[in-house]
Amino acid sequence: MGKKIKDPGFGNASAKYVGRLIDKKGYFNVVHINKPKKFSEAYNYLVGISWTKFFTLSFVAYIKANVIFALLYLFIGIDQITHTTGSVFKDFLNAFFFSTQTFTTLGYGAMSPSGIASGIISSIEAFIGLMFFAFVTGLLYGRFSKPRAAIRFSKFLVLTNYGNGKGLMFRIENNRDSNMINPKVKVTLTLSDKNRKGEYINSFYDLKLERSTINYLPTTWTVVHDINNESPIFEIPEHEISKKQGELIVMVSYYDESFNQEVHQMHSYLLNEIKLNHRFVKAYYYNEKGEMVLDHKLFDKIESTKS
């Protein structure tokens, strides 16, 4: 039976219907409530969100700012930047287009401030526009330069024959063309069980791997845990393992030559996601030129070991 380890940071308390500790994106699955919001955290938030969300938020902020300034131009009188059309909607559009030109410091010359009030507002808007685009430019650089791991994890966790017994396996590969130097894998098993008091408690185990580190990863790496008498799931019947309330917490670390530093990525597999009596199909082969070919379509492919 495997030896328990101290709580690695998740907490020993559990629940009957506990969810993932690590979500599908590799982040801790923690819902924060009543947390004070700080403006200083905006940078970390905007650098970490998806590209789609980032550009959507930037565009919405740009539109909102110009709508506000357009309303200000309407309030002081549209005649301070151009002749009124007699239509509130068309005057608003003219004010909005003038605002976008001022905000971006573009200026086509068709409209210009002709009063003190419009001059003050347009000067303030030009300053805010410069600050806005400087901020967005800094965020773009931060997003491109932020070190990120690019590990692809297999969809499946398989339990199949290995050696004289059984092995628990998953597969990883590099999702970039850059070289991965000295990749290391650490796997922690968490099992949630009810104690005598009726409370659900987490138990943690370090899973011993066939290999926990390699020199480089040009193709795929099948990470294997040998279910021998030192394994924490050795005494659990094969068909009962997937029924246990447990999770494999995986952390991969490696030196990325693109960023010239070590990067990390986390992932998790639930025990109920195990595919029994399946194995991974080899994803690489050699062509007629003697070149190694890695077929990424085969990365997640598995096949049954039952004849």
Binned at pLDDT 50, 70 and 90, residue 34 comes out as confident
Q: Assess contact for 124 and 115: CB atoms under 8 A.
A: no
> Per the domain annotation, does 203 fall within a domain?
yes
Is the domain of 173 the same as that of 297? yes
Say which residue the tokens 């970039």 belong to.
176
Q: How many domains does the chain have?
A: 2
pLDDT for residue 268 is more than 90: yes
> Per the domain annotation, does 33 fall within a domain?
no
> Per the domain annotation, does 194 fall within a domain?
yes
Which residues span the domain enclosing 189? Answer: 149-304
Is the domain of 170 the same as that of 272? yes
Q: Where are the beta strands (DSSP E) in the chain?
A: 4-5, 151-153, 157-162, 165-174, 180-194, 200-206, 220-227, 246-256, 261-270, 274-276, 278-280, 284-286, 292-294, 302-304
The predicted-structure confidence for 123-173, as pLDDT tens digits, reads as follows: 999 999 999 999 999 999 988 888 888 899 999 999 999 988 899 999 999
> Per the domain annotation, does 30 fall within a domain?
no
Is the domain of 83 the same as that of 118? yes
Is the domain of 177 the same as that of 268? yes
> Per the domain annotation, does 16 fall within a domain?
no
> Per the domain annotation, does 15 fall within a domain?
no
pTM above 0.85? no
> Per the domain annotation, does 132 fall within a domain?
yes
Is the domain of 165 the same as that of 298? yes
Distance CA 292, CA 298 (A): 14
The predicted-structure confidence for 82-132, as pLDDT tens digits, reads as follows: 999 989 999 999 999 999 999 998 888 788 888 899 999 999 999 999 999
Say which residue the tokens 């982040």 belong to.
27
